Structure formats: C-alpha cells, structure tokens
A and B are shown apart, each in its own frame.
Chain A
Amino acid sequence: MSEWRFWLNEQRGMLMAVGIFFVMFAIYVSNHPAGLTANVVQTASNKGVLLAFVAMAQTLVVITAGIDLSVGMIFILTNALASWLVIGSPLETGFGVAAVLATGLACGALNGLIVIYGRLQPIVATIATGAVFFGIALLLRPFPGGSVNEDLADMMTGKIFGVVPSSLVALVAVILVVWVPFSRSVIGRAAYATGSSEIAAYMSSLPIRRAKFTAYLLSGLLAATGGLFLTFFTYTGEAALASGNAYTLFSIASVVLGGVSLFGGRGTAIGAVFGALAFRTIGDLLFVFDLDPLWQPLFQGVVLLVAVSLSAFGLFRVRNRLEWFG
C-alpha cells in the first residue's frame, strides 16, 4: 500500500466527520434567512466550540480505552467557579483564569489517580467523581448568577477584524498548544499504544501509567477551557445537572462521529472537533427548517443512536465469530 493510501485509511473517520460537517453546514447556511454572513458563522462557531472543547477532553481519555463520564460535570464546575473568579482588574482576571484551569487539571488528576492507582473501572469511578464535581458546583452556585470580566468575554466571543470568530481562533490555538504536542510526544504515542493493547504496550516498556495519567489530566484541562468559554458566552455561572449530563452525552456522540474508536487506540482530537461541530450543526438544522424545538432532543438522540449503530458495520468483516467477544 502506498504511503498516501495508508494515511487515508488511518484518517478515514476524521475525513468523514469533516465531510459531514461541511455538507451539514452548507445545508444550514443555504437555508438560513441571513445566508452566509460573519454573524451567522460567529453564532455557529460560539455554540460549536463549547462542545468541541468537551469532545476533545473526551477523546484523550477514549484513546487510552477509558471513558470519562465526568467531563460534563467538570465543565459545569469550572463554569460555576469562573463566574466567581474571572472578574476585576486584568491581573485578577488573569489569576482567575489560571485558577479555573488549575481546577480542571485537579479534577482530571483526581480521575486519573482513582482509575490508574485505585484500579477502578473508569465508568463507575467517573460517574462517582462526576457526582462530587457537581456537588461542588452546586455549593459554588446554588442559584444561577455571578458575573465575568465582560471585556475579556466580549473579546473571546466576538470577531477578529470583523470577520473571523475569535472563539474559533481560540479553538485552533488550544489544538496547537495541547493536542499537537501531546499526540507527537512519547507520552501521546504511549497513550495510543495503551488503548490499542495494554499488554503489548507494557511488554514494550512504554510509560503506560504516565500516558493514562496525562490523558486524564489534559482531559480535565480541556473540559475546564470549555467551562471558561461557557462563562464567556453566558456571563453567568449555573450548576445545571441537565446541561452537564447533556454535554457528557454529546461529547461521546461527537467522539463517535469524529471517527475515534471507543475501544481505544484509534482517532484524533481533530476528528472529534469536527464531529462536535457536525453534531451541533445537525441539531441546529431543525431551527432553519422551522421545526418545533420540542423535537430537538429526540432528533439529537436519534442522530446519536444512528451514529453509534454505524460502528456495527465492522461486524460484516469479522470472519471468526469469536472475534465478537474481543
């Protein structure tokens, strides 16, 4: 197989997500009453970027064959925290942002420690830590409220040169700062190897624990970045259980749409980002076609169900039935 075909095969999931996103976005824009204006792109980008951050967070853990059901709750917790801290003079705001991101790192570290050194199943462990994170969020914000440094918030949600949405620029920056170094480092390769076969990774004396821990740690950081942006968009903090659960669910949907294997070892965060943008656009399609918003949860659920069922096509390629039980 020549080099580019190998690359194409490796990136098929991601390219599919990119394709779905552009088709959906074209349909969305062509049916939007305003058409393709900078404002439409800005609104779409602001909504999509939130999910994209959480989906990236989920990807890192899924690559190591784990799952993080607490990403939505870290997202909510950091939102509640940011509505207290990210305010005041530029210096105070800077410290606030740093504190919020550090909280995300701490949440990720807690998950990582429990899963790796506590040897608990990631599903149950992260459901339980998610409850703790949500409880802390409720302590911080029993009622929706708080405020944020509006200059910073407007800067992060506005447009650069009146054209490019700055949230999109921030997303690209985070990909460049977090994902690219991670995926090219030894730790990142070890994370892929661990996800694809932990025993083989162990036999090759790769740093399994460090790789997993870094994945959980960065996952917390990315979820916190998402929480920070949520605060920039809404100007308030709110400990909403439904919203946290929805983001966890949608992050899994985006990861699947973005071609990341839930069994680990396959896929990229960039695919998941496009998966998230595509998922958001699909949800928004209902609005441009003037359907009742009541149908949106059902529509998103069906999209998710279809997306996860598509992975079943792999079964047709199975020659030995015992491989079903992998």
Chain B
Amino acid sequence: MKDATREQPGAWLPKFVRRLDPAISTAFACIIVLLILGSLYSASFLSPEYLLQQLKVASFLGVISTGMMMVILLGQIDLSIPWSVAVGGMMACAAAAFGPVGETLAIPFGVACGMVIGFANGIGVAYLRIPSMIITLATNAVAQGLMVVYTGGFSPQDSATITMRYLATGFLIPGVPNAVLIWAIVGAVATFVLTRTTFGRSVYGIGNQERAAYLSGINTRRIVLIAFVSCGALSAFGGTLLAGYASKAAQSMGDSYLLPSIAAVVLGGTSILGGRGSYLGTIAGVILITLLQSILSVMQMPEAGRQITYGLVIIVMLLLYGRGPANR
C-alpha cells in the first residue's frame, strides 16, 4: 500500500499527522474520553495515586498482551492464554515449596512451564500445520487437565515467594511500582525485537504472506515456533507476577485475561489477519481496556454488565477500523 507515486488522501496534512495510525489515535482519543468520563463520576479518578494504581494493574495485562501481539502479528491466535497464565503462577508457587533452591528457581520454573505449552503450540502450528485456534484450545485443555490432577481440584496451598511479591508490588524507584517497570522493560525489548531485528521483520513478513516469506529464504517454521514459545513464556511470566500480586495462585486466575489480551492487541490497531501493527498501539489498547474495567468497577457494574460492555466495545471498535477487505 506504500505506493509513493499514488496520491494519498489527506496529503495536505502535516507529515506527522499523516503518519499517525488512525487506530492508535482513536485508541488514545478513547482513553482521554474515558478519563474525562471517570473524572466526572469521581473526583479522585484523575489523582496521580489512582492513575499509577491503574498503570500497575495494566502492566500484568501488558506483559501478557505482548506475547499475544507477537502471535497475532503472525496471523495466528493463542487461545491457551488462560491456562498458560495459571500454569505459570501455580508452578512458580509450587516450586517455592521446595526450600531455598526452589525459591530462587520459582520464576524461571514457572516461565519454563509456559514455554513448554508455547512449544507444543508452535510445533502444532508451524510443523503440523494445525490451525492455531484449534491446537491452542487443545493445549489449553491439556494444561487445565494437568493442573486439575496436580491440585486435586482445589486451589493450591503454596504461596508466592518474596521475590515474586517484590516484583509485583514493590518499589525499586520510589513512586514507580515494579510491575510498571517490568512492563516498560518487556515493552522496550519487544519494540526493539519487532522493529530492529531480522526476527521482527520476519514476523511481519510471515504475517503478510507466509508463502512469500518462505520463498525469500526465511525459515518460517522456526520463526513461528519461537513466537509461540515467547508468547507462552510471557503469559506464564504474567502469571507469576499475578501470583505475586495476589500472593498465591488460583485455578481461574487466567480466565479473565484471554478476551482482554486479544482485545487490547486488536484495539491497538494490530490487524487480526497479521502483518500490521505497532507496539505503541498495544500499549494504548492495554491502557484503554484497563481504564474501561476500572470505570465499570467504580460504577459498581455487576459482572454481567461488564461482560456485555466488553463484548460490545470490542465489536464496535472492530467495526470502526478492524474490518476485512471487501471481496469484490
């Protein structure tokens, strides 16, 4: 679409306005609208403490959405998020029960378990050519089954380590929660990887046209595998942070992250068909979703209303700018 000779609509606009992705600017505009609405509802909504608290809550979703974005950029989807998150949290807590060695290895172990799930997804999608939606649903079911057998159907009794709690709730720099710091690091690395490395360019290439990427010599199957493994790892890492935040893991801790993570990525302007999107948009999407959740809970909307609002907001936003091409 980047045809230099073609007259682009709105060419009279300043360059930086033209370069702005309409999706990202819409998302940021919605954030501002939500902030104004919230401040009308409650005066403390715009206070720095409250906003920082929101940013902290957003950072868990942010970490998880980063992995989801990689996969969506490939034109795939990962529906195993709920139990990747839960496995990450539960396995990290389980490792913590094994003395001091277990405590040091808690986070790496949780993340490694997430990577195993991602690896199974990646093998299925890249090498067995199973549609990602199906194979990730299946690994999600297997992960759930394993955890049910492991816990005996009850919430696990092990609790999070001090490190996990520190990462999720502590303050390394006064005033800036560690969780936000972690999201910033994860985001910076993701931005660098996506825009400045061969791997990142290959991800966009595969998302646009896997056939063409393969013919230009990219090892597409390896790239897809790596993307799924990193998605599993990031979800599990998000799970360990969540376990640290709540100081223990729970069976259903990941259930409320599947829809928001897809929504955050898609609302941020990343095409669900793959190959198009930027991390800035995902940041906007994550903050937008978190603010929406927060406003709904400030308004004491019951769970039913929240689900309906979620679904409607996603459909309406997608209808505004996520539509596929007309086929004629």
Contact = CB atoms under 8 A, between A and B. Distances in A.
A135 B311 contact: yes
Contacts of B155: none
Interface in A102-152: 114, 118-121, 123-125, 127-139, 142
B286 interface: no
Contact of B149 (A125, A138, A252, A298): A298
B180 to A, nearest CB: 28
Contact of A297 (B138, B141, B305): B141
Interface stretch (A1-9, A154-162, A223-231, A302-310): A302-310
Contacts of B139: 305
Nearest to A321: B214
17 contacts: A128-B315, A131-B311, A135-B305, A135-B309, A138-B302, A139-B305, A142-B304, A198-B327, A249-B137, A256-B134, A294-B149, A298-B145, A301-B144, A301-B145, A304-B138, A304-B142, A312-B128
Interface in B179-211: 210-211
B303 interface: yes
Nearest to B209: A325
A262 interface: yes
Contact of A121 (B137, B259, B272, B309): B272
Interface of A is mostly: helix
B214 A322 contact: yes
B196 to A, nearest CB: 26
B285 to A, nearest CB: 13
A138 B307 contact: yes
Contact of A131 (B134, B137, B307): B307
A64 to B, nearest CB: 14
B148 A311 contact: no
Contacts of A300: 141, 145
Contact of A262 (B134, B145, B258, B318): B134
B324 A120 contact: yes
A299 interface: yes
Given A127-B262, A128-B314, A298-B145, A135 B130 contact: no
Given A252-B137, A297-B141, A312-B130, A119 B311 contact: no
Contacts of B315: 114, 118, 120, 125, 128-129, 132
Given A249-B141, A252-B134, A324 B129 contact: yes
A298 B328 CA distance: 46
Contacts, number: 157
Contact of B266 (A114, A124, A198): A124
A202 interface: yes
A15 interface: no
B190 to A, nearest CB: 21
Contacts of A304: 137-138, 141-142
Interface of B: 77, 124, 128-131, 133-135, 137-146, 148-149, 152-153, 210-211, 214-215, 220, 255, 258-259, 262-263, 266, 272-273, 302-312, 314-315, 318-319, 322-328
A30 B304 CA distance: 46
A129 B318 CA distance: 12
A123 B133 contact: yes
Given A114-B315, A138-B307, A309-B130, A124 B262 contact: yes
8 interchain residue pairs of minimum CB distance: A298-B145, A135-B307, A301-B141, A138-B304, A135-B308, A132-B311, A131-B311, A312-B128
Nearest to A120: B318
A118 B214 contact: no
Interface in A227-258: 241, 249, 252-253, 256
Contacts of B303: 135, 138
A177 interface: no
Contacts of A249: 137, 140-141
Given A131-B308, A295-B149, A301-B143, 6 more contacts: A67-B133, A129-B311, A135-B303, A294-B148, A297-B144, A300-B145
A66 B59 CA distance: 33
Nearest to B310: A131
Contacts of A294: 148-149, 152-153
A125 B317 CA distance: 11
A298 B148 contact: yes
A74 B265 CA distance: 26
A238 to B, nearest CB: 14
B141 A325 contact: no
